Structure 1
Amino acid sequence: MRSQGSGLSPAWVARKVVSYDELQVVAGSLWWLQSDPDHGGVRRVMSTDRTGTVFAVTPPDFSVGSQLHAYGGGSFAVVADGVWFVGDDGSLFHQPFGCAADKIVPVRGSAQYGELAPADDGGVLAVRGDGTADEIVAVSASGSVRVLVRSSEFLAYPRLAEGDLAYLAWSRDQMPWDSCRLLMANIRSTSPRPGRLVAGGRSESVVQPSWGRDGLLYFISDRTGWWNLYRLRGDEVTAVLPIGSDCAPAPWEGGYQSYGFAPDGTILLTVLNGFSTELVAVDPAGGRRRLAANLTSVKPYIAVDGERLAVIGSTPSSAPGLWSLDLTAQADALAVPLGVASEPAPPWTPVSPSIDATSGAGGRVRFLLHRPAGAATPVPLLVRAHPGPTDDVPLRLDWVTQYFVSHGFAVAEVLYRGSTGQGRAFRQTLHGHWGDYDVEDCAAVAEHLRSTGVARPDAIFISGASAGGYTALQAASRPGPFAGATATSAIIDPTRWELSVPAFQRPHAAALRGPAGAAVPDRILCPVLVVHGTADTITSAEEALQFAHELADLGGDHASLLLDGGDHYLSAPAAREQALRAELDFYHRIMRHPEG
């Protein structure tokens, strides 16, 4: 399991990435999406029976997954007689329990389905978009399709209760985490009509509407600068838990559910701080207590079944998986893992990180620091710029990070300006300054760790994927502490990228773009490794290849890796293994032959 030298093997690490998403509970059973290397990365709907036994629901020969609004989400919904899901070809399927799946609505043209939710008649609600307009439709098992709402805007989160349809809408020149409205329409009418405004506006983002057990409409809004939970009673909106923290992540995908309802009226929700996620229970009287304190990261899917809570959680020593908690237990009760098969002990004991901070040009910069156990002298340092850039730095076991730590590197994950989990103002700080503020914050962390003796001054590197790849390239384009940079699936020219991205993401590209401009080969000041998959649909493999060729023509210790068939996330284990091996070899080569 180890490589020929010391440390974890890239082949072993590449096969440890298992994805769990869209967790929900229906009729006493848990349902979720799962993809893992042992099944070729196919995304399957999984479930548990009454005994807790886990089984696959959907066929193994194609993936479940929506491409609506580019990033999908809300890919399946469970109804009384079966499960609805979006197939990998974009078609809408219905699979009765114990039967084969039926293709109910074939894909037509550029239309995509997603945001699935149960309808009252055993059918399903869905958002259907073709890149120019969105519709909320009700689909029956017989294949009839009724349009409930039609709009030139983006639509999401259709949630129905007794004829009242709540949904989200936002302008095509905005991102939903910047500006999003909650609307409500009475669908008893036979013709679609616009809904009335409940909350949201140009400077307010509303996300995750849901009907509670009490018949009231709940939603999360950042009207105070923080994404907090609210309820609508009549025409009055009140806060469930006013708090100076975000209770939801940026809505890159549909189907997030960062809160849930217990039978006694208690509301369970997540509270984020950029690194860790707390689970909090708010009782009907407003009292608050923390749950499952042993979990440090929780995905935005809260599933409540009677007196039990299920989440996709993780800790610094355990990768994301299913966890459960008894809501009637004492306040200090811990969550327990569900369905964990007996596995051999890993060949490496994970090293827990510390949360640290330093001063930067824009103020305090926080970061996670992973250090090799027992390191008493300066070691090579890898600064990682997360993708997004509206992302966070989750405090959880990441075997890719542990891979570099096992090979003697310290790893710093920077919560740079523009990250989520720290409120609206911090999230929007990067607007118009992409390639500057993020680079400044990463460099500040690197300089801090060099000056405090953590990092070897001649062996400080930066890496990033997607938007983080752009950050890494910009960091390599200016004088600073970095001896090398790795850019994976990178955005290279924000202006060109803005013209090529799906319509959903175009306003994001426009808002972020600043004077830093495109990464240009002849401005690069240190060796760069470019890694890109040929099947990347989000950033251009052709542009990356051209960039790598121009770098090579300039000379120097640059390198590139073009992965045939690799997607934006390098999901296939073989692609991930090659990328890990190439990145570590790249850093070792620089340390053996540093540039003057």
Structure 2
Amino acid sequence: MRSQDSRLSPAWVARTTVTYDELQAAAGSLWWLQSDPDHGGVRRVMCSDRFGTANPVTPSDVPVGGQLHAYGGGSFAVVRGGVWFVGNDGSLFHQPLGAAPERIVSVLGSEQYGDLVPGPDGGVLAVRGDGTTDEVVAVSPVGAVQVLVRSSEFLACPRRSGDSLAYLEWPRDRMPWDSCRLLVGNISSDLPRPGHTVAGGPSEAVLQPSWGPDGSLYFMSDRTGWWNLYRLHNGGVEAVLPIDADCAPAPWEGGYRSYGFAPDGTVVLTVLDGFSTELVAADPTGALRRLGPNLTSVKPYLAVDGDRLAVIGSTPSSAPGLWSLDLAAEADAPALPVTAAVDPNPSWTPVPPSIGTARSPGGPVRFLLHRPPTAAAPAPLVVRAHPGPTDDVPLRLDWTTQFFVSHGFAVAEVLYRGSTGRGRTFRQVLHGHWGEFDVDDCAAVAEHLRSTGVARPDAMFITGASAGGYTALQAASRPGPFAGATAVSAIIDPAQWELSVPEFQRPHAAVLRGPAGAALPERIRCPVLVVHGTADTITSAKEAMRFAQELSALGNDHAALFLEDGDHYLSAPAAREQALRAELDFYRRIMSRPTT
């Protein structure tokens, strides 16, 4: 058996977590956002050449990333001789390469900038929103702002080709993955004017418009129930690669790019199934081949640079990092790492998970199962309800999961109803049933693992963050298999959350919430650990504190941890470390109670 020395420590996991986002290819280099524990989780723009030498571009004392539409995205754009980026207050900065950043446009009130793409003459195109009005603007290097489009709806993804501007628009009472239109307008006039709709509508969600090298306008649409790639051609819409699979994720952030174009006309895109993400290339004849089969998870940031493709990818044994593929290589050629991998823990080797299926009241429910390699079965079980709930369960190395596995827990990650990667119908089935169908599916997985001898019947726990925290609290509020629940940055009352959440997400709360209602302390049937950051801007720390206080008054088995200045994601390494330690101690305390 492995010794206790092989167990991962909370501090090691917190120091190891590095995130990569918004990868793009420009000026012969790769550029991306990175946050790592050595800089307190601050996001910086990084740049790398093809040899893998990475250097920070922006300083750590000017964090990158705003909160346009609550979650930001499209945080930087590379232009000749420098970069534009959004500061953490939502304002616009320009930084010549090798020089210090300069604030070009300050924000007023609730304004936020985001969705940046290069503009003409070294300027930038962006979306500017203030909570009531969105605008597509062109900003010159000296800070002159021209409004190209103004709308009372949400706007995203400005893409310019000559005097033509393509962009997305969706109603303020809908989410962009439920209803979104693609518009094209002429911007030769100095006055802002709306474009005309070319795709999308009330029951169709269009994503990620892009002008292709052939001059056509490409985009993702779920008009068939699956997000597939289309193009506007000869006055009509035609499918580029019809497939019964989602080729893009739900657009939580700006700047996603789930497809790209090679010089020979080959289209590269992602294909999702809820767990894994495949890279597929379709040449001009329509012939398909798979790229980088060693990768199992790929973030929606494809960067094509000539005959090479760079991605943020991962495998069951490697955490997300930068990988490169030769588009001219033979089929099934593996992707090669660009960035150095995190030094592994010398005493712990991750064990790849298996994919399982359980029966729930709604039918089959799939899950990833991570099992301790040497622990005797049955083992204590942690069921993880992913956040979102419009999200998936990526098949990749996650050190938080490995932390619990190293301490003898089995971990099940549930692709419950409402998740993405399984088409429009599957992700919308949770509408009006939040706190019901997701809980049913998580409980069904736990019962399945108990009945098959994987899980200890007296030591099955559920954990979740954000929307997953609400799922965990609702699971703790009904008779069921769980001996304890952990709610991190949790939504507690969907009705109250709808009133307080950033406007972008209010329709999400409205369409999801149903009879389950608020998680109420008096309904809780098992011990609960509440973890929340005091600086959370997505879910209410005050509501969580009140909930924890009322729980404490009802019994001594509950616990709470409130992290000073912690954000919604507990991004700071110290916050992540404290949360991991508290959750492990919570489960151990429950398992150590005498049985009756």
Q: Give the shorter-chain TM-score range.
A: over 0.9
Alpha-carbon offset, residue 77 of structure 1 = 0.4
Contact persistence 2:318–2:341 (CA under 8 A)? no
Offset of 1:51 from its aligned partner?
Answer: 4.8
For 1:50 and 1:363, locate their aligned partners in 2 and report how far apart those are by CA, in whole Å. 47
For residues 456-488 of structure 1, the C-alpha deviation after alignment (integer angstroms, 9 at most, x for no partner) is: 100000000110000000000000100110111
- The answer for the alignment partner of 1:36 in structure 2 is 36
Q: CA deviation at 1:344?
A: 5.7
Q: CA contact under 8 A between 2:249 and 2:300: conserved in structure 1?
A: yes
**Counterpart Cα distance in 1 of 2:484 and 2:554:** 16
Query: Which secondary structure does the structure 2 equivalent of 1:127 belong to?
Result: strand
CA distance in 2, matches of 1:240, 1:421: 19
1:118 alignment partner in structure 2: 118
Q: Where does residue 242 of structure 1 map in the other structure? A: 242
What's the counterpart of residue 338 of structure 1?
Answer: 338
Q: Is the 8 A contact 2:321 2:341 kept in 1?
A: no
Q: How does the TM-score come out when normalised to structure 1?
A: 0.98
User: 2:313 corresponds to which letter in structure 1?
Assistant: G
Q: Superposed, which structure 2 residues align to 1:115-154 within 5 Å?
A: 115-154=115-154
Q: Please list, as runs of the form range in 1=range in 2, the aligned pairs for 1:450-489 lying within 5 A after superposition.
A: 450-489=450-489
Distance 1:579 1:5, change over 3 A: farther
Code of the aligned partner of 2:310: A
Structure 2, unpaired ranges of 5+: none
The Cα of 1:4 is off from its aligned counterpart by 7.3
Residues 246-325 of structure 1 mapped to structure 2, 5 A cutoff? 246-325=246-325
Letter paired with 1:148: L
Shift in Å, 1:90? 1.9
Contact 2:277–2:298 (CA under 8 A) maintained in structure 1: yes
1:213 is aligned to: 213
Supply the AA of the counterpart residue of 1:183. Answer: L
Post-superposition offset of 1:34: 0.4
Q: Note the 1:372-521 alignment, pairs <5 A.
A: 372-521=372-521
Query: Partner residue of 2:90?
Result: 90
**Cα contact 2:434–2:516 (8 A) shared by 1:** yes
In 2, Cα distance between equivalents of 1:594 and 1:324: 54
By how many angstroms is 1:345 displaced?
Answer: 4.7
Number of residue pairs matched?
595
- 2:378 paired with 1:367: no
- Residue number in structure 2 paired with 1:77: 77
How far does the alpha carbon of each residue in 1:254-300 deviate from its partner, in whole angstroms, 9 at most, with x for none?
Answer: 00000000000000000000000000001111111111000000000
Pairwise mapping of residues 176-255 of structure 1 onto structure 2 (< 5 A)?
176-255=176-255
Deviates more, 1:293-302 or 1:571-580: 571-580
Quick check: 2:178–2:204 contact (8 Å CA) kept in 1?
yes
Superposed, which structure 2 residues align to 1:58-69 within 5 Å? 58-69=58-69
Helix, strand or coil for the counterpart of 1:121?
A: helix
* Residue in structure 1 matched with residue 22 of structure 2 by the alignment: 22
**For the structure 1 residues 4 and 371, does the alpha-carbon distance in structure 2 shift closer, same or farther, using more than 3 Å as the test?**
closer
Q: Distance in 2 between matches of 1:530 and 1:65?
A: 28
Identity among equivalent pairs (%) = 77
Q: Distance in 1 between matches of 2:185 and 2:234?
A: 15
Aligned residue type for 2:502: P
Q: Is 1:533–1:563's contact at 8 Å kept on the other side of the alignment?
A: yes
Q: What amino acid sits opposite 1:225 in the alignment?
A: G
Between 371-380 and 531-540, the greater mean CA deviation after superposition: 371-380
Give the match for residue 351 of structure 2. 351
Q: Distance in 2 between matches of 1:304 and 1:126?
A: 22
DSSP-derived class of the 1:543 partner: helix
Report the alpha carbon displacement of residue 347 of structure 1 after superposing the two structures with TM. 3.1
In the alignment, the residues of structure 1 paired with residue 367 and residue 159 of structure 2 have an alpha-carbon distance, to the nearest angstrom, of: 38
Cα 1:341/1:530, change in 2 over 3 Å:
closer
SS at match of 2:469: helix
Q: Is the 8 A contact 1:3 1:10 kept in 2?
A: no
Matches of 2:49 and 2:439 in 1, distance apart?
A: 49
The residue identity in structure 1 corresponding to 2:588 is H
Q: Which position in structure 2 is the counterpart of 1:11? A: 11
Cα contact 1:439–1:475 (8 A) shared by 2: yes
Give 1:538 deviation, angstroms: 0.8
Query: What CA distance in whole angstroms lies between the structure 1 residues aligned with 2:47 and 2:446?
Result: 44
Q: Distance in 2 between matches of 1:438 and 1:284?
A: 42
* AA of the residue aligned to 2:367: F
Q: Residues 403-447 of structure 1, C-alpha deviation per residue, up to 9 Å, x if partnerless?
A: 000000000000000000000000000000000000000000000
1:53 alignment counterpart? 53
What code does the residue aligned with 1:455 have? A
C-alpha separation in 1, matches of 2:44 and 2:5: 36
Structure 1: runs of 5+ lacking an equivalent: none
Question: Is the CA contact 1:181–1:199 (under 8 Å) kept in the aligned structure 2?
Answer: yes
Inter-partner Cα distance in structure 1 for 2:473 and 2:311: 37
SS of residue matched to 2:121: coil
Describe the superposition over 1:5-62 as per-residue Cα deviations: whole angstroms up to 9, x where unpaired. Answer: 7611010011111110000001210000000001111111000246542111112212
CA distance in 1, matches of 2:361, 2:428: 16
How far off its partner does 1:341 sit?
6.2
Q: Distance in 2 between matches of 1:295 and 1:224?
A: 28
Partner of 1:155, secondary structure, is: strand
Indicate if the aligned counterparts of 2:532 and 2:544 stay in contact, CA closer than 8 A.
Answer: yes
2:170 match: 170
Where 2:16 maps in the other structure, the secondary structure is coil
Deviations 1:53-108 (A, max 9, x none): 21111122121102100100000001122111111222211112232222111122
Q: 8 Å contact 2:6–2:347 — kept in the other structure? A: no
Secondary structure, counterpart of 1:15 in structure 2: helix
Alpha-carbon deviation of 1:562?
Answer: 1.1
Shift of 1:556: 3.8
Alignment CA distance shift 1:3-1:496 (3 Å): farther
Tell me if the contact between 2:10 and 2:581 (Cα under 8 Å) persists in the aligned partners.
yes
| 3-state SS, counterpart of residue 332 of structure 2 | coil
Matched to 2:19, the amino acid is S
TM-score normalised by the chain length of structure 2:
0.98
Q: Partners of 1:83 and 1:311 in 2: how far apart? A: 20
8 Å contact 1:129–1:135 — kept in the other structure? yes
RMSD (CA atoms) = 1.4
Matched residue of 2:369: which SS? strand
- Is contact 1:384–1:463 with CA below 8 Å preserved after alignment? yes
* Structure 1 residues 100 and 29, CA gap change in structure 2 (3 angstroms): same
Aligned partners of 1:480, 1:580: CA distance in 2, in Å?
A: 25
SS at match of 2:128: strand
Residues 20 and 34 in structure 1, CA contact (< 8 A), matched pair in contact too: yes
Indicate the SS of the match to 2:587.
Answer: helix
Pick closer, same or farther for the CA change 1:3–1:536 going to 2, 3 Å. farther
Q: Is the 8 A contact 2:89 2:112 kept in 1?
A: no
Secondary structure in structure 1 of the residue aligned to 2:411: strand
> After the TM superposition, which of the residue ranges 49-58 and 553-562 deviates more from structure 2?
49-58
Aligned in 2, Cα 1:158/1:592: closer, same or farther, shift over 3 Å? same
**Alpha-carbon distance in structure 2 between the residues aligned to 1:220 and 1:341:** 32
Q: Which amino acid in structure 2 is aligned with residue 291 of structure 1?
A: L
When structure 1 is superposed on structure 2, of 268-277 and 536-545 the one drifting more is 536-545
C-alpha distance in 2 between matches for 1:242 and 1:476: 42
The alpha-carbon deviation at position 342 of structure 1 amounts to 8.0
